[in-house]
């Protein structure tokens, strides 16, 4: 048998939460989700432990880990930890599942569109250190993911746009046919989630622990996106930051003659129409901070090496590559 958290393809189960919730598990649950969906707590059967947490980047900290991990030490080897929430809850729970008893079984229940299309696929969990996003991280794949559409019903329009941004990123970087279809017609939520999860899972299967570089394509828009999150004190949420980061990546791609102008203009137009990403919004975030601070955060990016920034640039629909950007500061 594989150790808990080892790479495995997504094991997605769709249905209502009450019919899917496992018995005898420990739970980390977004307190807001519990408040908006009382049936979540009512449906949990024979829980070993239930921890309600406040979602957000502050949760992804060593302080939160030190506070919550001891409460989960009663989880047996071979036990199960269930994460109910968006990306920050899933990220944090992934780290906890990796560390408690040197690894327990993880079940993800994404409650945001962004988590459903992105962070609950691929096995990554991470904590922030200071202003550096995802500075400490682990790989710990979920054994199951429970996708419960009723939990998406309370999402705000802004939260929907965050998930759409990540799904569009996967389409334009990974599958020209999907991008062609989605650029013409916005998909419904079910198609968006299922297709985006399948696209990301395909890449992760080829590079499950980021050893070959093939998985780096998923970082399109993330280099500047993480900087934007950090500069804003994480007030700009991840999905919006990635959409704005894609605008920056398109600019760099054009400047380096990697991204054709017509393609960059098409992608920007779709992002603006579907996610609200705009040059005005990008300027409002960046102009408050000196170039030196932006450069320092770019230099902390995990893809940086030897004083040069490495970014994922789009070359054509379905093809994006990690390239060195030598003069970035």
**Three-state SS string across the chain, please?**
CCCCCCCCCCCEEECCHHHHCCECCEEEEEHHHHHHCCHHHHHCECCCEEEEECCCHHHCCHHHHHHHHHHHCCCCCCCEEEEEECHHHHHHHHHHHHHHHHCCEEEEEECCHHHHHHHCCCCEEEEEECCEEEEEEEECCCCEEEECHHHHCCCCHHHHHHHHHHHHHHHHHHCHHHHHHHHHCCCCHHHHHHHHHHHHHHHHHHCCCCCCCHHHHHHCCHHHHHHHHHHCCCCCCHHHHHHHHHHHHHHHHHHCCCCCHHHHHHHHHHHHHHHCCCHHHHHHHHCCCCHHHHHHHHHCCCCCECCEEEEEEEEECCEEEEEEECCCC
Give the pLDDT confidence score for residue 297 in this predicted structure: 75
Q: Would the pLDDT of 301 be above 70?
A: no
Residues 247, 168: Cα–Cα separation, whole Å: 13
Q: Would the pLDDT of 110 be above 60?
A: yes
Percent of the chain clearing pLDDT 90 (strictly above): 81
Give the pLDDT confidence score for residue 261 in this predicted structure: 97
Sketch the domain layout of the chain as residue ranges.
12-152, 157-325
| Top-ranked range on mean pLDDT: pick from 164-178, 208-222, 313-327 | 164-178
Q: Whose structure tokens read 């990690």?
A: 322
Of 298, 323, 311, 320, nearest to 217 by C-alpha is 320
Give the pLDDT confidence score for residue 329 in this predicted structure: 40
Average pLDDT over residues 203-228: 93
Which CATH code of 3.80.10.10, 3.90.1170.50, 2.30.40.10, 3.40.50.1970 fits the domain covering 12-152? 3.40.50.1970
Give the pLDDT confidence score for residue 294 in this predicted structure: 74
Give the pLDDT confidence score for residue 285 in this predicted structure: 84
Q: What are phi and psi of 103, to 5 degrees?
A: 120, 115
Strand partners, 137: 126
pTM recorded for the entire structure: 0.91
pLDDT in tens, 137-159: 999 999 999 999 999 999 999 99
Percent of the chain clearing pLDDT 70 (strictly above): 96
In contact, 30 and 112? CB cutoff 8 Å: no
pLDDT tier at 312 (50, 70, 90 boundaries)? Answer: very high
Architecture of the domain made up of 157-325: Up-down Bundle (1.20)
Q: What is the mean pLDDT of the chain?
A: 93
């Amino acid at each position: 048998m594989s150790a808990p958290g080892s790479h495995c393809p997504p094991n997605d189960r769709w249905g209502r939460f009450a019919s899917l919730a496992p018995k005898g598990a420990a739970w980390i649950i977004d307190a807001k989700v519990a408040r908006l969906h009382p049936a979540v707590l009512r449906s949990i059967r024979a829980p070993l432990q239930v921890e309600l947490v406040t979602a957000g980047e502050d949760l992804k900290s060593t302080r939160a880990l030190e506070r919550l991990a001891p409460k989960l030490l009663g989880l047996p080897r071979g036990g199960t930890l269930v994460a109910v929430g968006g990306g920050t809850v899933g990220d944090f729970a992934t780290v906890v599942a990796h560390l408690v008893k040197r690894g327990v079984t993880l079940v993800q229940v994404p409650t945001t569109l962004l988590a459903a299309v992105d962070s609950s696929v691929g096995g990554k969990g991470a904590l922030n250190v200071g202003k550096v996003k995802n500075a400490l991280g682990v790989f710990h794949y979920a054994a199951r993911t429970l996708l419960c559409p009723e939990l998406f019903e309370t999402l705000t329009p802004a939260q929907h746009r965050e998930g759409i941004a990540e799904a569009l990123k996967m389409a334009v970087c990974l599958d020209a046919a999907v991008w062609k279809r989605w650029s013409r017609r916005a998909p419904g939520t079910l198609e968006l989630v299922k297709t985006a999860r399948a696209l990301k899972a395909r890449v992760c299967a080829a590079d499950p622990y980021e050893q070959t570089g093939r998985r780096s394509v998923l970082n399109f828009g993330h280099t500047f996106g993480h900087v934007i999150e950090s500069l804003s004190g994480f007030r700009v949420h991840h999905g919006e930051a990635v959409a704005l980061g894609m605008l920056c990546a398109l600019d760099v791609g054009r400047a380096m003659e990697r991204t054709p102008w017509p393609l960059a203009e098409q992608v920007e137009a779709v992002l603006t129409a579907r996610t609200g990403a705009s040059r005005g919004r990008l300027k409002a975030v960046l102009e408050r901070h000196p170039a030196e601070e932006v450069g320092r955060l770019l230099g902390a990016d995990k893809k940086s090496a030897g004083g040069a920034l490495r970014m994922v640039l789009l070359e054509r629909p379905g093809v994006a590559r990690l390239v060195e950007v030598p003069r970035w500061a």
